[in-house]
Chains A and B, each alone.
Chain A
Amino acid sequence: MAIPVRKFDAVIVGAGGAGLRAALQLSEAGLKTAVLSKVFPTRSHTVAAQGGVSASLGNSEPDHWHWHMYDTVKGSDWLGDQDAIEFMCREAPNVVVELEHFGMPFDRNSDGTIYQRPFGGHMSNFGEKPVRRACAAADRTGHAMLHALYQRNVRANTQFFVEWMALDLVRDTDGNVQGVVAMEMETSDIYVFQAKATLFATGGAGRIFASSTNAFINTGDGLGIAARAGIPLEDMEFWQFHPTGVAGAGVLITEGVRGEGGILRNAQGERFMERYAPNAKDLASRDVVSRAMVTEINEGRGCGPNKDHVLLDITHLDPEVIMSKLPGIREISIKFAGVDPIKAPIPVVPTCHYQMGGIPTNYKGEVVVDGKPVSGFYAAGEVACASVHGANRLGTNSLLDLLVFGKSSGNSMIDFIKAAPKDLPELNTADVDRSVARVDRLNNQKNGSNVHEARAAMQRTMQAHCGVFRFKDMLAQGVEKILEVEQMVKTTEIADKSKVFNTARIEALELENLIEVAKATMISANARTESRGAHVRDDAADTPERPNGRDDQNWLKHTLWHREGNRLDYKPVNMNPLTVETIALKTRSY
């Protein structure tokens, strides 16, 4: 069957901050640009970003991009590439001011300049003292950013294909990217979007974990597609977690609850933090609390029928205090845990929040494999690994990442498209056929596995074996288990075969993307036998030679997971900034 082909200069998959920023660059340059999105652009997950976007504008007090760069390198636990980090921090003031001109309603100082507030990890003079660097639009920074960028794109005639799901990449026999195969949800019709340049801006894959703050749409589609097309995934063992999300839901319970006297308890009702941190107890640092919680669960003292969470107890607090000092917490708990925290403790578990790894790119947004750009292929935002976040992300750098690398990839694509031959080359139909066959397999599967069960098995496995704190033996078992889950995913069956907005089919296809991310994460984490940033293992202890378990001699390198044979290889961290001196290795402590 001939698959219809739509032709563009550029095709962008994903309409969150990065996709919209790149699209704007391309459309304003007069290029014919298509943006595909599963949901309406302003309902992308960027909308969930509240904290702000960092830029060394220095509106309140002196600041410098070099200090921002230092904070970012340190935050990354030296796994970030220093060329990309310098580029991002230098560009930050430009892209923020640009966004202001696009109509972004930033909070302002009385003199009209953008108001900047302090944020964890933002320091002046190379780690000396806190500096106000975060720019925000009340608690709706992501929302306001999406609206400003979307409006501007409409004006620039970007063509939106809303409620379309990308399925697979099309590459020619030399590996050059020719576009994507995509499905229109309303009809289940499959089209090829052929373009001179293709950008993935599909966001993260936080839904691989049982407990995640990510919206349901965050299924790592771009990562799954790239992996199937033979592109390795970089540093997938690094995920940022928050210690207390409502178990089974993922909605965060602010750490302020422990500040107000909240106590963590295990299945025996024991205040277990007394054993892990005799002085600070429940007020110990995020890492210590997360580690203790996971250790309790892992040693069989977790709560609930599956012993998979602990309890956050505020029943001893005066209800007046709960109402006045912790607004919203009671409602979250009642709504998402079915528990009134005045009467009973809240079930909580460490919860995944952000993916540091992704499709390997350089700071121009070009996808790089074996040291060379993949012709015609670009990635930006959470799906990409430039790598500016390294082993852990500095707060407010995610929105900055979207703006800087959305714009830079857009510019790279413009140059590439303008230099490309006028006519699009002949399409490699073999890749198209493979994609269609993948959907046919799902449609025709008999006696297969259940999508929800397979997804739940994946999420439980990732949470238990590869969560916020990792154990050597659990990781090794986790690799076996996730490969078993993969077999389930290969035979998923859907009961509803209808064509129109078939959510069951979409979820089955999303699961095929999630499982690639899950394998990449588990296998990469199992192999990295050090602790660094957000990847913390029980067998990589804090010693004088290896502070915090970090092993620079053996592990100052990026992981690359290849889907074929689950092969791992590594590439060096770029320690050479563009214009300044290397920010030398140091122990990361705050």
Chain B
Amino acid sequence: MDDVHLKRLVWRSRRGLLELDLQLERFVAEVLPTLDDAALAEFENVLLLPDNDFLDYLNGKADCPDERLKPMLARIRGAQQ
């Protein structure tokens, strides 16, 4: 994935909900630079989630119906510990 694409994902990690900004801040700083292209594509798909759903999945308040997104959601969750 090229630099343009990566930097766009960094910006798109700015969200409408503070709780998402905070959780993505650490992930973007620490994990994003280590991801391979396949993982970056997964992250890009996760960023398309509506903010409320995204937060509910991260908080375990709801189960993400899309199995393909679950591994990346778990990695974002893992970056908070």
Contacts and interface: CB of A to CB of B under 8 A. Distances in A.
Given A38-B14, A328-B59, A501-B4, A216 B21 contact: yes
Interface stretch (A25-33, A42-50, A110-118): A42-50
A48 B21 CA distance: 12
Given A331-B59, A501-B8, A503-B10, A45 B16 contact: yes
Given A331-B59, A335-B23, A501-B8, A215 B18 contact: yes
Contacts of A217: 14-16
Nearest to A187: B4
Given A213-B18, A251-B19, A335 B80 contact: yes
A500 B11 CA distance: 11
A500 B80 contact: no
B14 A186 contact: no
Contacts of A46: 16
Contacts of A43: 15-16, 51
Contact of B52 (A45, A140, A506): A140
Given A331-B59, A335-B80, A48 B18 contact: yes
A136 B60 CA distance: 23
A212 B18 CA distance: 9
A498 B3 CA distance: 11
Contacts of A190: none
B38 interface: no
B18 A503 contact: no
Nearest to A16: B16
Contacts of B50: 42, 47, 143, 147
Contact of B14 (A42, A216, A336): A216
A249 to B, nearest CB: 6
Interface in B1-26: 3-4, 7-8, 10-12, 14-23
A383 interface: no
B16 A47 contact: yes
Nearest to B3: A500
B52 A47 contact: yes
B8 A186 contact: yes
B22 A336 contact: yes
Interface in B31-60: 50-52, 59-60
Nearest to B24: A216
A39 B8 contact: no
A348 to B, nearest CB: 15
A185 B19 contact: no
Interface string A321-345: 0000000100100011000000000
A198 interface: no
Nearest to A245: B18
B16 A48 contact: yes
Nearest to A331: B59
A48 B52 CA distance: 8
B22 A39 contact: no
A399 to B, nearest CB: 14
A214 interface: yes
B18 A251 contact: yes
Contacts of B8: 186, 500-501
A214 B19 CA distance: 9
A46 B35 CA distance: 31
A215 B4 contact: no
B40 to A, nearest CB: 14
Contacts of B21: 215-216
A323 to B, nearest CB: 14
Given A500-B8, A501-B11, A503-B7, 11 more contacts: A39-B16, A47-B50, A143-B52, A163-B11, A186-B4, A215-B14, A215-B16, A217-B15, A335-B80, A336-B22, A502-B7
18 contacts: A43-B16, A46-B16, A47-B51, A47-B52, A48-B16, A48-B17, A143-B52, A163-B11, A185-B11, A186-B4, A212-B18, A215-B15, A215-B20, A216-B14, A216-B21, A500-B7, A501-B10, A503-B7
What are the 5 closest A-B residue pairs judged by CB atoms, nearest first?
A501-B7, A47-B16, A43-B16, A216-B21, A500-B4
